[in-house]
Chain A
């Protein structure tokens, strides 16, 4: 039996729907997602909840280190396989669209140009995760985080007070030096710098635990929300009016002060944690008054990998549809309704398949 709707699955489902919409640039409904009033967006939520889920998976420390490492490694391989599959399908989608529309410019979309211009080296880059398609770049981060996850778990088990400080040291080092993961064969950097994004994953993990930082936050959540609410409010104003400082006028090291998604700069991280603190209070009310919303979103969240993969391909399909039929409110509405419906169907079929497996 699938687990009942809960806050983690609900917010994960929420993040998946937001990511699907935000990944169709120009679509009318992107102006309704929470990033229009928030410095952080669904990517932060998705990675934070991935860390949180790792905490739930590890549980109270009953599992041995070796089986746990084996399990997490298996999960990493599963995410890697999913990433390779959807990257291949995305390239085929782009090639098909270019052929159908007789427009080879489509082959340029989403960093795909290198694959069609220089397939031998770029294929190696895709397999090595050093070449990532635009909007298909969060799973490589997830693969790396899950590969390193056994180290997080071991530190948590044997030196818990060190886990978050070590993670933050790496985070600030990456921002101040600065350094990130390079791409190849196209010169550049990973969109999601793994050295900084690990911080939000580790924080999700640490906050999910009943001890250490997690316990401290739970016992002090009321006053933390009093501090967090003004941060969320001020951030919404900054985003709405685009009142961000000129990055060239900031003191060095500039990455500590500017708003940059690739580096998950402190401004984004702090705002996200404040947002999480405030909205973690909302789930009980949502579950009580909007059960029609919590059930389907939790269903999506429970099957996040399958839904994310299908959602990535649906976003790309949505872009192709918008290009074919010239984006309008009607086309955008059809894209969103069909897309969210197919996400739900993906999640439902995933659980249906699990149920069949259990019955046989």
Chain B
């Protein structure tokens, strides 16, 4: 059928203008997490600032910092973006995800906190994905020092309306009885609860998975969190958490996102 050019222009304009903002669409089905990743449950808190960014720009910027980012972003081979980015873009139609990878394996919370502030100032991310705790625990950083350092950074991020997802300590069976390791783990959990920020309980997830595999008669996946399969599982968990958080209704007391950001 022939349509004169002005009609085509109007039709295109109507389609574009008529497209509802991404966040106004029905929430997508959160991405599935592979069976091999176990059935650990993570928080479903909203990510209000990122949801606003999604609505306004159809784009979210994620700053990955702390320990090795591969462990949370998943593997991206042959020039492909990391798994987390691929899952998010596949799940939420029209979403453009930019991941700024500033992970540095082995970095302690204090140094990461300092670097984080600078990276936030330079890159203005919507979400900060911070892996923290394992190295401080292994380096025997005192718990109060750790708590002060992480707490300050968490408060600073909240004060700047940046959504934060904390990714907690790794699981290792031999560290289950290490009092300092466990104290740092509890400290991080406390910080997350008090500040009401999302925390991915990697330790708990991997512990459950290790137990499940052991009871099924297979060798215990003690270091699953340090394998490629483990990294991809974490990416799946985080993608699910972010998707849920982007479309969850903010509680009434939630801070109003800064529209200028």
| Interface of A toward B, CB cutoff 8 Å | 25-26, 102-114, 117, 134, 178, 186-188, 246-248, 250, 254-255, 258, 260, 319, 322-323, 326-327
Contact = CB atoms under 8 A, between A and B. Distances in A.
B105 A112 contact: yes
Contacts of B140: 26, 322-323, 326-327
A25 B139 contact: yes
9 contacts: A25-B141, A104-B223, A108-B105, A113-B105, A117-B228, A247-B122, A254-B121, A319-B139, A323-B140
A248 B101 contact: no
B134 interface: yes
B189 interface: no
Interface string B108-126: 1011000001101110000
B105 A322 contact: no
Nearest to A24: B139
A32 B106 CA distance: 23
Contacts of A246: 117
A26 B135 CA distance: 11
Contact of B106 (A26, A112, A258, A326): A112
Contact of A255 (B68, B122, B180): B122
A117 B121 contact: no
Interface of B: 67-71, 101-108, 110-111, 117-118, 120-122, 134-135, 138-142, 160, 170, 172, 174-175, 180, 223, 226, 228
B234 to A, nearest CB: 13
Given A25-B139, A113-B68, A105 B226 contact: yes
B70 A186 contact: yes
Q: Which 4 A-B pairs have the closest CB atoms?
A: A247-B121, A109-B106, A113-B105, A113-B68
Contacts of B70: 113-114, 117, 186
Contacts of B226: 104-105, 107-108, 113, 117
B118 A114 contact: no
Contacts of A248: 117, 120-121, 160
Given A113-B70, A247-B117, A326-B180, A134 B141 contact: no
Nearest to A106: B138
Contacts of A107: 226
A227 B142 CA distance: 40
B104 A188 contact: yes
A314 to B, nearest CB: 16
A326 B139 CA distance: 8
A105 B175 CA distance: 10
Nearest to A254: B121
B138 A111 contact: no
A41 B224 CA distance: 39
Contacts of B108: 25-26
B106 A247 contact: no
A114 B180 CA distance: 26
Contacts of B223: 104
A108 B135 contact: yes
Nearest to A111: B105
Contacts of A322: 139-140
Contacts of A326: 140, 180
A188 B134 CA distance: 21
A111 B219 CA distance: 29
A358 to B, nearest CB: 42
Contact of A258 (B71, B111, B118, B134): B118
Nearest to B76: A187
B139 A26 contact: yes
B155 to A, nearest CB: 12
A105 B160 contact: no
Contacts of B139: 25-26, 319, 322-323, 327
